[in-house]
Amino acid sequence: MKLSNRNGWKLIPALLLLFTAQGVTAQQYELNSKDEQTRIRIQVNDRITWSVSKYGQVVLPEVVIGMTVNGTVLDEDPEVTSRRESETAESFEAVLPVKSRIIENDYRELQLKFANDFELHFRAYDHGVAYRFTTSRSGNIEVDSETLEISFPAGTTSYFPQEESMYSHYERSYLFKGIDTIRTGEFASLPILFNTKDDLRILFSEADVFDYPHLFLAGSGSKTLHAQFPKGVAATKPDPSSADRNVIITEEEPFIAATEGTRTFPWRFFVITNDDADLIRQNMVMQLSRPQILEETDWIQPGKIAWDWWNANNVFGVDFKSGLDTRTYKYYIDFASEYGLEYLILDEGWTKSTTEILECNPDLDVKELIRYGREKGVSLILWCLWKPLDDNMEEILDTYAGWGAKGVKVDFMQRADQYMVNSYTEIAKACADRKMLVDFHGAFKPAGLRSAYPNVISYEGVRGNEHNKWADYITPEHNVTLPFTRMAVGPMDYTPGAMHNAQEINFSVSFGRPMSLGTRAHQVAMYVVYESPLQMLCDTPSAYMQDEKTARFISGIPTVWDETKVLHAKVAEYVAVARRQGDDWYIGGMNNWDERSLEIDLSFLPAGTYEMTIFQDGINANTYAEDYRIESRTVNRSDQLSMDLAKGGGWTAVLRRK
């Protein structure tokens, strides 16, 4: 099969069936996946509804969709004027492969054209379904509202990232809740994972979200959830308690989006499977999002990054007083260089103030640090707040690029309305013009931007390690829920690498000297299990250098992957994956608080002999979480191993072909 570079989204010359548009009078349409296991049935009567069956079972009994544009309800008494069906098989290569270098995109599509200047597109994949609206109106339009009502089978439960407001960092715990217990007024950001009483998993999210707000799902105290969207923002004022980063929305528009009249709208998709591993294998956001816009991408380099903020610059064993100053950051650069880390981030505190971000604080010389880093082979990424960047983007990015910074970490966006979605795009484009990377923090989920602009190297939008500084809810159970929920829609800047680890009975909250729940090996395994082309080492360089074995092991793990195999997967309980870069394989496993052993079958390996180095829980890790051991052995594809996991444990192996 020939590959597309996806810069132009060329179809592969594989099987392609196309039925030309024709008048249709029937009010019921069907679309099946290629494996014939997934069936979409669409009903067009006085409204538009559809349902999904999988493996012969009704999985989504009824989904109601609609849109109101310029005061006109598009789906009111809809009339289908033509239909078109197609079958597509294509592949493209990812610039930053977080899961696999080659992404297959095989599906069947049904396009229904309606009399009211709109279309509905449905896609059926072997592992899921998707739909979107398109409109073909002259000039600009206002989208007043969009309807999505999803009815689930009785007894369906959810992993529900419940929000208190749509003004949010989107860093939530996944609450296990029955659908009918989600009350009116309760809502969640995406993605959301559902489980039917027949043990089918349904992951819901969206893709190709451009010039449009993100979708939230709200409860009704019944088996039906419905969409809600942030309105357009008409006016804001600074929040007196934190004027540098927070705003108060004082006026909203009557619409959710003011946009072009001829356009495609976001895809909404459902991954449907009886195998938890499919939630990790699938790549729906990339499959459904628009093609790459950037022509040159060789300058986009993944890597690992030393981070200062989580560890509060607590370096020790040195002959200088640490702080937000040039000397301390040269120490970070020396560490990064010694351990082969590609980047250092200067987080909050490097600028004159959080709003005066064109100047350094008096104790720090960023130009000197960039020069010193270049000498040592370490590039710098600069943190900044979104609000001052939005106010003066061109000058700020010109200045940072002129200094030689390789990227920005933009923080505290906290919104998902149309203006903010467009701001992400503007930042991505402006940084790409200057050959700079972007890491979004205080951010909503990935939803297609990194497909068009692969310099968007990672997103936060996850309740990650930083929360250990002030809370005790970043548990191993939470950590093994994330691969099936938040990570299922794109790269996740969880910021692993805590070197102060504790079992539940020994854990305490400390903002200045944080620790993690679970074992040291649990943290190490995140470097294989969690997907992020920019993977941080969150702890102080002094702690890593004090335990050189752990630091060397972590620093040798790549951040992008040619291939991924899911070996074991059960939501909120355990996960084990094998990933390949070149000829080398890496295996990572994590579990919840339940001690267990998982069998690892190495038959996925190509023929040959491999030297395997294993980083695993020590014999006393159940009581002393920092206990670990490293061992090496020779293996081949006929071998089977036991992955023994302590409570909140982990297991990581590096396999190099001999």
Summarize the confidence of residues 551-558 as an average pLDDT.
98
> Is the residue at 288 inside a domain?
no
Structure tokens at 70: 């310029």
Residue 303 lies in a domain: no
The pTM score is 0.95
In a domain, 22, yes or no: yes
SS3 content of the chain, % helix, strand, coil (to 5): 20, 40, 40
In this structure, the answer to whether residues 76 and 212 fall within a common structural domain is yes
Q: Residues 343, 442: one domain?
A: yes
Among the candidates 274, 301, 336, a domain finishes at 274
- Residue finishing a domain among 461, 485, 507: 461
381 & 503 share domain: no
Question: What confidence score (pLDDT) does residue 11 get?
Answer: 38
Q: Has residue 12 got a pLDDT over 80?
A: no
Residue 56: partners with Cβ closer than 8 Å, 6 or more residues away? none
Spatial distance between the Cα atoms of 152 and 126, rounded to a whole number of angstroms: 20
Residue 145 sits in the same domain as residue 79 = yes
CA dihedral of residues 253, 255, 260, 263 (deg, nearest 10): 150
404 and 476 share a domain?
no
Range of the domain at 260: 17-274
Give the H or E element holding residue 111. strand 102-114
Q: What is the pLDDT of residue 475?
A: 98
**CATH number, domain at 351?**
3.20.20.70
Catalytic residue (choose from 75, 342, 411, 439) = 411
Residue 18 has pLDDT above 90, yes or no: no
Mean pLDDT (the chain) is 95
237 inside domain: yes
Clarify whether 411 is annotated catalytic. yes
Cα–Cα dist 247/234, whole Å: 12
With bands split at pLDDT 50, 70 and 90, how would you rate the model's confidence at 243?
Answer: very high
Closest CA to 498 of 532, 521, 481: 521
Closest CA to 648 of 552, 541, 505, 487: 505
Whether residues 495 and 511 share a domain: the answer is yes
- Is the pLDDT at 165 greater than 50? The verdict is yes
- Within a domain: 46: yes
Which residues neighbour 52 within 8 Å (Cβ) at sequence distance 6 or greater?
A: 38, 39, 40, 41, 58, 59, 60, 63, 129, 270, 272
The residue from 253, 274, 295 where one domain ends is 274
445 with 473, same domain: the answer is no
Whether 380 is in a domain gets the answer yes
Instruction: Answer yes or no: is 552 within a domain.
Output: no
Same domain, 158 and 94: yes
| Measured CA distances, 73 to 76, 514, 552 (Å) | 6, 53, 60
- Are 230 and 119 found together in one domain? yes
**C-alpha neighbours within 13 Å on the C-beta side of residue 633:** 10
* 326 burial level (CB within 10 Å; 0-12, 13-18, 19+): middle
Active-site residue, selected from the candidate residues 466, 539, 617, 626 = 466
The structure tokens listed for 290 are 């628009």
Q: At 269, which helix (H) or strand (E)?
A: strand 267-273
C-beta of residue 346 within 8 angstroms of C-beta of residue 308: yes
Same domain, 395 and 422: yes
DSSP for 549-590, please give it. Answer: HHHHHHHTS-SS-SEEEEEEEETTTEEEEEEEETTEEEEEEE
- What's the total number of domains in the chain? 3
Q: Write the pLDDT tens digit of every residue in 310-332.
A: 999 999 999 999 999 999 999 99
Indicate whether 230 and 335 sit together in one domain.
no
Give DSSP secondary structure letters for 407-446.
EEEEE-----SHHHHHHHHHHHHHHHHTT-EEEE-S----
Q: Is 164 a catalytic residue?
A: no
Q: Do 509 and 437 fall into the same domain? A: no
- For residues 419 and 229, the answer to whether their CB atoms sit within 8 Å is no
pLDDT (tens digit per residue) in 483-516? 999 999 999 999 999 999 999 999 999 999 999 9
In a domain, 544, yes or no: no
- Average pLDDT for 389-401: 98
Amino acid letter for position 378:
V
